[in-house]
Structure 1
Amino acid sequence: MNSMRKFLLSRPGKLLVYREITNVDMACKARLMSSSSRRGSAVTTQSQFLEAKVPQLMSNSNERGNQHSPWIPDSTVQEVCDHYQGLADEGKSNFMSAVASGMGVRHDKILTEASQLQSQVGREDAAILQAEKRLRLSLVPGYSTLFSHISRLQGGVKFLVDLRADLLDHLLSQQSLQNEAELKALNDTLKDLLIGWFAAGMLNLERVMWSSSCDMLEKISQYEAVHPVRNWTDIKHRVGPYRRCFVFTHSSMPNEPLVILHTALTRDISASIQSIVRKQNDIAVGVKSGEENPEEAQAAIFYSITSTQKGLQGVELGNHLIKSVVKELQSEFPSMHLFSSLSPIPGFRDWLISQINKQVKDEHNTSLFTSQELDSFKSALNITSPQALSTLKKVIVTNEWVKSESLVKSLQSPLMRLCARYLYVEKRRKMALNPVANFHLRNGATMWRLNWLGDTSPRGLAASCGMMVNYRYYLENTSSLSQRYIETQNIKASKQILDLVGNGSSNADMGTVNSKL
């Protein structure tokens, strides 16, 4: 430090800069400390409210652990809920931090009870069972008891679902590791409770039709996240002849669709979403309005599945809904034997652009496109510049390529190959990188067919350069395939997918490709 001081004193200009930087640094630290202090004070205010209303649930209470579920008047629990709902976003964040830190487990109590259990070894079973019970109760955080009380209120379960949605948002903004750990523990506890409350046997399967309530139809329209509904005529078409819309509801959240599945009834497995949502189904032509020919409904195409409640993230609903709908359709149409999704491929174009950027930096890298493919792009783009990849990236990002017949033709083979690689080879934690692929594969589906220009809407082009994929459900194999994927991460794929992946294996390091199935 002394040598640095001598150096700065010998150079007045640098000393001035050093002082300015030091002053700015101290000012930043002061603001951070002030902000932290204000936040700490706000959290303390929420803690004081909780201590006043539910003192028996606080970590510092001597009553904690003495009984499994202390009695709390419903009016008090409702007051806690009303208090939270009346807070602004920052106040809600402070409330959740106060709950996480003030209603967690008492670690000293756990250690004491664990020691007591150890001391009972060798004694009679009754003493050991009592010691185990006390240890088990000490492991239950106070907020778990609070959530159980809230769930019994009218609208309480919906309150907790919304609370978890807020909690997930709050977790993303954490800077304190201690606070983040406490909030994660709070989230894990609430998620486990919701998994139990929203088990498959507690959900109600409902078919939504044009005769359903306006409220339900409006929610179906508003929640649609995959293929947006344009107007009332559009929603009428999606719940009309040769279409099925099913939802899961819960008795604690009446008239609230938790997950929505749109299904098209067709002759065979659809390759294009335009044929489903943009025009009347061809098998409906010549049929009186409202009537269906069961013999024409050989395939069920699941073209949109939407979870509507962020607070139920991680709670398995979609898998159960698909299985329930399959049983319902088999009962209605005994001859139906084809079950498949027609799925978007979110993230492919972003992945593709990132890969192009890598190849732009290394022109000798041919892991993405071969020299022959690059020559084909140059011809289609009518350029001779070596910057073909940069130009190609631009036309892909702007969707200009789809307007050029020559570009569409030259891009089909390489983009199909790369999309198959993205779906089949690219992984995250050993599972399929693409979230939609991971969902269907976990359900036991087969990656069956990649469809060129399956969705040419601006949304489809932006997500996957217009490609869609079918995940086919072979009912006799779904359980075994689901287990195999979860345990070994092995993806069951059709010959088309494997051929596409194999065609690029000589150009890219894509790992070992499974034997053709």
Structure 2
Amino acid sequence: MIIKRYLFSSFLEKSRLKMIFRIRFCSNLSVNEELKEIIGFKDTDISNWIVEAKVKSLCYKYSLLPKMKRENLLSTLASEYAVDHTVICHMSQKLACTELNNQSQLITRERSLRNLLTPPYHWLFTRMGRLENGIKFLVDLRTDLLQLISETTESNKITILQELNTILRDLLLVWFSVGFLHLERITWQSSCDILQKISDYEAIHPMRNWTDLKRRVGPYRRCFVFTHPSMPREPLVVLHTALCDTIPDSVKGIEIAEKRILGKTEVPLSFLQEDKAKIKAAIFYSIASTQKGLQGIELGNYLIKEVAKQVTNEFPMIDQLSTLSPIPNFRMWVIEKIKQDPAKIFTACEQERLREILKSRDLFLDLKRLFNNSLWTNDENLVAAFKEPLMRACAWYLYREKRRNYALNNVANFHLRNGAVMWRINWMADPSPRRTENSFGIMVNYRYFLEETESNSRNYIENKFIKASDSVISLAQNAEKLILI
């Protein structure tokens, strides 16, 4: 009897696999037709095996589509498989007319309205999320969707695409909650594919070679990532940390601190035992979110907090936590201010000095041309002439320039929301062409005082108050009389 049951179940399993194979690989339906067919399964009793196979086939076909056809499918999904506003209004009226003491009918109609407010594509996304690699597919799908929204000009179309984005983002927000994330330290012993991704994802300080990568995951450095069970070999956020004896004011300062700690030892770094007594500061010098489809889902702030716990537990002498952060878009902001009026950035004496050095007749055009590359950083006279006005302007830009009453600069906004203090602005912290192009080589330290981060974060988010050091505030005040003229 047992043998007969086994043979029968084996026969059913083979039949099921053959059916799935035909559905998955032999479907002649177009992607839009297949989408319509799948959505039609929503309120039926059809087997989950069939639905799963169809959804998997749809995902596979979508991945092969060119950009334009992907956009067409996303537009179709947003417009044709959204909620039915007419039916919702009708049910809302029925609910409004329900007697409050008739709890059974009230709950039934509330449930019906809730179901109507959930668009069919929500059901599709949940089915996709159950597939192997389905979460990664949805993250990539949202990347395409965000790109489409950014390129769309028609307001009505943007509205329905934004609703699709909101539903997908909310699902990803649940699936990528901190409880599901895994903190992992990357070392030179980590797998090659992970190390390659760490190198590829580094945008702030690009890796020069494998030797550079080895150093950044070696002694007196820490590289941590968040991963997700559904994307185990895909770092979601990467945080690089340098272990120092004090807070450096430049990228070179990190290397100098390392040499100072090492002293005259001739032991190769690979065999070096870290001297915990010398480590008093942890510097978060690079953080990168790797998945564009997770935009708007806060992961980086949780990673910083987890790494702060890790390093302070490992190195008890650490009492200073800080970033060494870039200032994207500052150069473009300065050029725009100079275009409006050079007096917004430079005093009369500073303008005169620059005209003499540059032999300039049109200061704006000459400065715009000068700032197109980093060659000016090789001229000591220019570096000296720019230091005071650009440091002053930078403090104003970070501390006073706002968008919706929050810091205009996205990096500043990120760390302030985490509860950091805008602590120190550093001149020529990174004179590389990349950093000069963004911020004239200026970088900023955001300090994390762990006992104050919660109150600082709440004060910033709720009251729009930026906690900054006296030096930053003083520089911003010096810029005020120029910029507000």
The answer to whether the superposition gives a TM-score over 0.5 is yes
Q: Are residue 91 (structure 1) and residue 78 (structure 2) matched?
A: no
Judge conservation of contact 2:181–2:228 (CA < 8 Å) in 1. yes
Number of the residue aligned with 1:409: 384
Aligned to 1:336: 318
> Following superposition of structure 1 onto structure 2, how do residues 483-502 of structure 1 map, counting pairs within 5 Å?
483-502=458-477
Note the alpha carbon deviations across 1:40-63, whole angstroms, 9 max, x for none.
Answer: xxxx96543322233145xxxxx5
Aligned length: 452
Aligned-partner Cα distance in 1 for 2:136–2:346: 51
Residues 1:472 and 2:454 are matched in the alignment: no
Partner Cα separation in structure 1 for residue 115 and residue 369 of structure 2: 61
Contact 1:101 1:182 in 2 (8 A): yes
Deviates more, 1:96-105 or 1:155-164: 96-105
TM-score for both structures, normalised by structure 1:
0.84
Q: Distance in 1 between matches of 2:185 and 2:264?
A: 25
| Paired amino acid for 1:379 | E
Q: Distance in 1 between matches of 2:421 and 2:324?
A: 12
What does the per-residue CA deviation read over 1:121-151, in whole Å, with 9 as the maximum and x for residues that have no partner? 2333222112111111110011111111111
**Alignment partner for residue 460 of structure 1, among 420, 435, 439?**
435
The structure 1 residue matched to 2:146, chosen from 168, 175, 178, is 168
- Partner of 1:369: helix, strand, or coil? coil
Task: Identify if the C-alpha distance between structure 1 residues 70 and 480 changes in structure 2 by more than 3 Å, giving closer, same or farther.
Answer: farther
Name stretches of at least 5 consecutive residues in structure 2 with no aligned partner.
1-28
1:331 positional shift: 1.2
2:299 pairs with 1:321: no
Secondary structure, counterpart of 2:171 in structure 1: helix
The residue aligned with 1:274 is: 252
Residues 74-111 of structure 1 show CA distances to partners (whole Å, capped at 9, x for unaligned) of 11211121121121111111111111112111112212
Match of residue 393 from structure 1: 368
Q: Which moved more, 1:85-94 or 1:210-219?
A: 85-94
Instruction: Look up the equivalent residue of 2:427 and give its one-letter code.
Output: W
Please name the residue that 1:358 is paired with: 340
| Maintained 8 Å contact 2:327/2:439 | yes
- 2:345 is aligned, of 340, 359, 368, to 368
Instruction: Confirm or deny: 8 A CA contact 2:334 2:345 kept in the other structure.
Output: no
**Greater Cα shift, 129-138 or 385-394:** 385-394
Please state whether the residue corresponding to 1:374 is helix, strand or coil: helix
**Which region of structure 1 is more displaced relative to structure 2, 244-253 or 47-56?**
47-56
For 2:400, give the aligned amino acid: V
**Matches of residues 158-197 of structure 1 in structure 2 within 5 Å?**
158-197=136-175
Of 402, 407, 420, which residue of structure 2 is paired with 1:445?
A: 420
| Residue 33 of structure 2 corresponds to residue 48 of structure 1 | yes
Deviates more, 1:465-474 or 1:124-133: 124-133
User: Which residue, out of 405, 410, 413, partners 1:435?
Assistant: 410
**1:449, 1:193 → 2: CA distance?**
39
The reply to whether residue 141 of structure 1 matches residue 119 of structure 2 is: yes
Give the deviation of 1:159 after TM superposition. Answer: 0.4
Return the offset for 1:119: 2.7
Please tell me whether residue 150 in structure 1 is matched to residue 135 in structure 2: no
| Preserved CA contact (<8 Å) 1:56 1:70 | no
Question: Is 2:215 the counterpart of 1:237?
Answer: yes
Flag the 1:279–1:505 CA change in 2: closer, same or farther, 3 A: closer
Q: 2: distance between equivalents of 1:152 and 1:267? A: 48
Q: What is the distance in 1 between the residues matched to 2:71 and 2:435?
A: 36
Letter in 2 for 1:179: K
How far apart, in 2, do the equivalents of 1:277 and 1:225 lie? 19
Percent identity, aligned pairs only? Answer: 46
Question: CA–CA distance in 2 between the matches of 1:138 and 1:266?
Answer: 57
Matches within 5 A, 1:250-329: 250-276=228-254, 281-287=259-265, 288=267, 289=269, 290-329=272-311
Instruction: Tell me the alpha carbon deviations over residues 231-258 of structure 1, each in whole angstroms, 9 at most, x when there is no partner.
Output: 0000000001100000000000011100
Residues 64-83 of structure 1 aligned to structure 2 (within 5 Å): 73-83=51-61
Unaligned runs of 5+ in 1: 1-43, 58-62, 361-365, 511-517
